[in-house]
Chain A
Amino acid sequence: MLVFDALLAGALIWLAWQATHTPGLFRSVISFIVFGLLMALAWVRLEAPDIALAEAAIGAGATGALLLSALGRLAVTHEAGTPWQERPDLYFWIPAGAALLGLLTLAAWALPTPGLGDDVRRVLPDSGVANPVTAVLLNIRAFDTLLEIGVLLLATIAIWSLGRMPMPSAPAVRSPALTALGRVLFPMFVLVSAYLLWRGSHAPGGAFPAGAVVGAGGILSILAGAQPWLTGGVRGPWRILLSLGFATMLAVAWGVMALGQPFFAYPPGLAGLIVLVLELAAGLSIAMSLVALYLAGQPPDHWGPEAARR
């Protein structure tokens, strides 16, 4: 397995170099997408299947779609000269960088080994789920996840505030196969994500990969020319779905206080149910946010030919 690890590490380094330092933006973006896919393999080798699922769906899938659509919308995609600037002050920065890296290595060496595994295992029976990562995400450190959903919501608000989404959202010449495929595949996306969500309570899976899979399905159907019933209007359902995860988590955090518990400490008997509700709400919000991030602007109040003309 050491040979496999070494090959994987070599490929990752080569792809990272391709993505950041070789000429040709399209090539860089493709290298980065492959880099994300290989990272998913590295996560599996590091015994982190939850992260591997999320990386494959979010890191490689959603980021790849974002990068490619941004590349297509860029006005200038050719680079003048070399991809990087010539620095005259290299003689200062190379030793300074090496010193910084050395100090960081020393600091990492002196770090205590993370030893929270025992603590997590001890409280796992009370957390309502059997998968330790889900327990940490939605019960033990639910506050972090609340802030994370908040960041996702904030990113969507920031993008919507930039103005209307660029039109058209689908390719001008659309392949008929894509439309048919999108119709067939979207129910499969929903099915897979429901399975991942249900699985998250006892095995790798959960709200993040599930939300990402539905989000990817949404992006695919928009590419295939679908006109969603969801609109970006002031009272549109999209806004409710976007804020559903954040609002539900906040409501639960305060709601348990009414039952005499501290902030985000679930009553023992209800923990499993609460985690399930939070996973559903967070998964929906993640899916809708990913589609909104892909659209790169506020969706129109009405989808249709008149939206494309504006």
Chain B
Amino acid sequence: MIYLVLAGVLFVIGLHGLFVARHLLRKILSLNVLSAAVFLFLVALARQAEPLDSVPHAIVLTGIVVSVSTTAVALALLVRLSRPRGNNAAPAGKESR
């Protein structure tokens, strides 16, 4: 029960951070907190079932991998975005092979 409340509080913190954070990295962190809250909610619900429901566990496991993929793409975009033009690690000429 305490974990359902925890999921709600984390959800609000993540949502607030996602909307009002200034720095994009902070928005990505907020998105991760938000998804952790949703996972927590699913598993806390599954705990109440008798016998233990393993389907939400599998879904959350899937969700963790999907959220690390989205985080990685978002971070890669963020890093490219923050670099001044022409100062990239890869010169544009060598890009097209």
Measuring CB to CB, which residues of chain A are less than 8 angstroms from any residue of chain B?
2, 5-6, 9, 12-13, 16-17, 19-21, 25, 28-29, 32, 35-36, 39, 42-43, 45-48, 50-51, 54-55, 58-59, 62-63, 66-67, 70-71, 73-76, 79-85, 87, 97, 101, 105, 108, 111, 113-118, 120-121, 132-133, 135-137, 141, 144-145, 148, 151-152, 154-155, 158-159, 162-167, 208, 286, 289-290, 293-294, 296-297, 310
Q: Are A101 and B8 in contact (CB under 8 A)?
A: yes
In whole Å, how far is B55's beta carbon from the nearest beta carbon of chain A? 5
Of A5, A101, A148, the most chain B CB neighbours within 10 A belong to A148
Q: Are A71 and B56 in contact (CB under 8 A)?
A: no
Q: Are B61 and A137 in contact (CB under 8 A)?
A: yes
Q: A67-B75, A70-B75 are in contact. Are A293 and B68 (CB under 8 A)?
A: yes
**A48 touches which of B43, B65, B73, B80 (Cβ 8 Å):** B43
Number of interface residues of B (CB under 8 A): 73
A interface, over-half SS = helix
Besides the contacts A118-B51, A136-B57, what 18 more A-B pairs have beta carbons closer than 8 Å? A6-B2, A12-B6, A20-B29, A42-B6, A54-B61, A59-B36, A67-B25, A75-B84, A117-B53, A117-B54, A136-B54, A136-B55, A137-B58, A158-B76, A166-B90, A290-B68, A296-B72, A296-B75
**B32 touches which of A63, A70, A87, A293 (Cβ 8 Å):** A63
CA distance A87 to B17 in the complex (A): 13
CA distance A62 to B68 in the complex (A): 8
**B75 touches which of A55, A58, A66 (Cβ 8 Å):** A66
**A84 touches which of B22, B71, B73 (Cβ 8 Å):** B22
Q: Are B79 and A166 in contact (CB under 8 A)?
A: yes
